[in-house]
Amino acid sequence: MALNSPSPVVLQVEPFGGSTRRHNTSLPHLYWDDAAVTRGEGVFETLLIHDGKVANFQRHMKRLQASATQLGLAVPDAEHWGQAAAEAAADWCGQIPGKKKPQAAMTWTLTGGRASTGVPSAWITVRALSDTQLKQREEGVAVMTAERGFSFQISPTKKQKPWVSLAAKSLNYTAAMAALREGRAQGFDDVLWVEGDRVLEAATSSVVIVKKDKRLRSPEPAGEIIAGTAVAALFELGEKKGWRCKHKELSVSDLYEAESVWLLSSVRMGARVTRINDKELGSPGKDSLKAVRGLIEEALTR
């Protein structure tokens, strides 16, 4: 196809349920006194657009609302937000002739807004998938393990403080970005956060392992581990299709011993881990790969 790549779409959303406005992406839209810029006060979601539709809308919406609550931001209305998301997806897909539309990545961002107005800023973007994302879906990823270097003290007997907010999907990704830069410099594609031998999550995705007899395992989301919408979608569909799905603490050696190891996220979907540090992981065989890929794809495109 000789098509040019479709242009990104940015749709500004009135946070209190008002109108939406298509924004020219070659113009700036954030002000100098926006809390996203002055304090990093913002939350986001990244979603897959599949067949022109937003996949897993409800899960992302619930997490956006929970993240907003945790950061003390105005909580977006699901219906209004859903309409805006559909509008943005249609705008982007409208650039592509024909009925069949390629997948795209959508991002929702909600910030504390301008200090001078107090009105939250909110916008939705849609852009093409990157070549790297498509390649890693096909070929998998080599990961470097890294210690986050900090831990949470969350005591079940103490009321958890609202500012322990790693569990919110906030804009604070500096540690993840720093680790990714270091990992890439060393020839890795992604970073796997560990705490000693315990596996947490990857820089921007969740870890799932496949064990024999159709068993799926993923670390329990809590504290250091964001509740992955992709894992939730996979487990829900998996259970229906006869897989046994469980959240369970995983060690690095559990990963070595698994049939296959996957990094799950909404847009890249499943990227199989082919190497952990200097240790290559064996391939699980064509049938197993096909079954897992099929399940992931179905779960994440609904």
Interacting residues with its own copies (CB under 8 A): 8, 10, 23, 25, 27-42, 44, 70-72, 107, 109, 111-112, 123, 125, 146-154, 160-166, 168, 170-179, 181-182
If you ran DSSP here, which 8-state letter would residue 190 be given? E
- CB of 40 vs its own copies, minimal distance in Å: 4
Contact partners, residue 113, CB within 8 Å, separation at least 6: 15, 34, 35, 119, 120, 121
If you ran DSSP here, which 8-state letter would residue 18 be given? -
- CB of 272 vs its own copies, minimal distance in Å: 25
Half-sphere exposure (Cβ direction) of 162: Cα atoms closer than 13 Å: 8
- CB of 242 vs its own copies, minimal distance in Å: 39
The nearer residue to its own copies, 12 or 83, going by C-beta atoms, is 12
The nearer residue to its own copies, 103 or 145, going by C-beta atoms, is 145
The nearer residue to its own copies, 83 or 107, going by C-beta atoms, is 107
* Token output for 116: 């001078």
If you ran DSSP here, which 8-state letter would residue 278 be given? T
Half-sphere exposure (Cβ direction) of 260: Cα atoms closer than 13 Å: 23
* Token output for 238: 């998996």
CB-CB contact of 35 with 41 (8 Å): yes
The nearer residue to its own copies, 125 or 274, going by C-beta atoms, is 125
The nearer residue to its own copies, 40 or 297, going by C-beta atoms, is 40
- CB of 149 vs its own copies, minimal distance in Å: 4
- CB of 64 vs its own copies, minimal distance in Å: 15
